[in-house]
Amino acid sequence: MDEVGLLEGLLKIYSPTHGEADAVQYLVAQMKALGYEATIDETGNAIGVIGEGPAEIVLLGHIDTVPGFIEVTREGDVLRGRGAVDAKGPLACFTAAEALAGQITGRRVTVIGAVGEEGDSRGAKYILDKYHPAMLIIGEPSGWEKVTLGYKGSAWFEFTAKRALAHTAAQSESACAAAVSFWNRLTTRVTALNADRPKMFDQLLPTLREMKSNSDGFVESAWLKFGLRLPPGLSVEAVAGEVATVAAPDEVVLLEGVPAYRAGKNTPLVRSFLSAIRAEGGEPGFTVKSGTSDMNLVAPVWNCPALAYGPGDSSLDHTPEEHILISEYQRAVRVLAQVLADSRLIQNRPQEVGDDANTL
């Protein structure tokens, strides 16, 4: 099996969100060649299944990328291309690892190349009620020696201020000034909330993404689009209420939101990964991420042992320099193959989530 060729071929097919169809067809064809029963579901996800049995392990990656094609090149140990890290590298790792691991009696593995993760997560939302796995692995870059146990939540808002037009000499507050004032009040409030939270994963983090203003000759309007990264224990509803209070009397609308999620450490799945990483010569570790992933959506619903794993340096996500080290990718394939071949994972179909809270 040419696991590097599998990834390189996937990278060559540009697949930004809402443009994944060609990449999905390619992946399904590759899955079939590797022995999967593979198909495309109704929302466009690539689905590949190997094995039979009552216990199912779902490997959920995403096949879409952010916009911006990067020419695919291979120079020594470096493979460049959009999605090499986020997250075609982990998805190809999933596909290659299960084919390498082979079948184990009593369990099946389902590899999913989901669409839309960089947008509205339509692929993950579609499968929420269609799978009930014993274990879940999310395909996101963690580096081959680490597993990711948690992702922050997010909430996105639109703020609108409207003011009657007045001569600048009147010193009346303009809509633009009102928008700036709101943003300053919000960031001041966030700073106060974060005062006793030294770790970034535990902080509320604001980000201003878009702004514009206009006028019809009588009323001027100013508009902001902004997001907040949510720490564990802070619900979308609570944040929305706080934002509305800061915005008053102007209008703010919650566009979408998902809470943070953190999985437990004390599960058979985590233990199997730690053992496999050590067997490959690595020093295993844990990480949590300040972004969000499809884990935030599916893990609370499926309520099974979960983590995220995949090769690649996540600091390269969405950047023009996105690339992956071939040696790291191959190591991750071997680690994951060892995990999937671990027959202890399916004993008693464990549903334990460890001594950490699995939902936040």
Active-site amino acid positions: 64, 117
Kindly list the distances between the CA atom of residue 352 and the CA atoms of 4, 194, 286, 347, in Å, as whole numbers in the listed order: 35, 32, 19, 12
- Smallest CA-to-CA distance from 67 within 15, 22, 29 is with 15
Which residue is listed with tokens 């000759």?
217
Neighbours of 37 (CB within 10 A): 13
**In degrees to the nearest 10, what's the CA dihedral of 107, 271, 359, 202?**
-150
Give the sign of the dihedral formed by CA 336, CA 131, CA 298, CA 86: positive
Using a 10 angstrom Cβ sphere, with 0-12 exposed, 13-18 middle and 19 or more buried, the burial of residue 42 is exposed
Question: Contact, 1 vs 96, CB < 8 A?
Answer: yes
Q: Which residues of 43-81 are buried (b: 16+ CB within 10 A; e: fewer)?
A: ebbbbbbbbeeebbbbbbbbbbbeeeebebeeeeeebbb
Q: Which residues contact 100 (CB under 8 A, 6 or more apart)?
A: 1, 3, 333, 334, 337
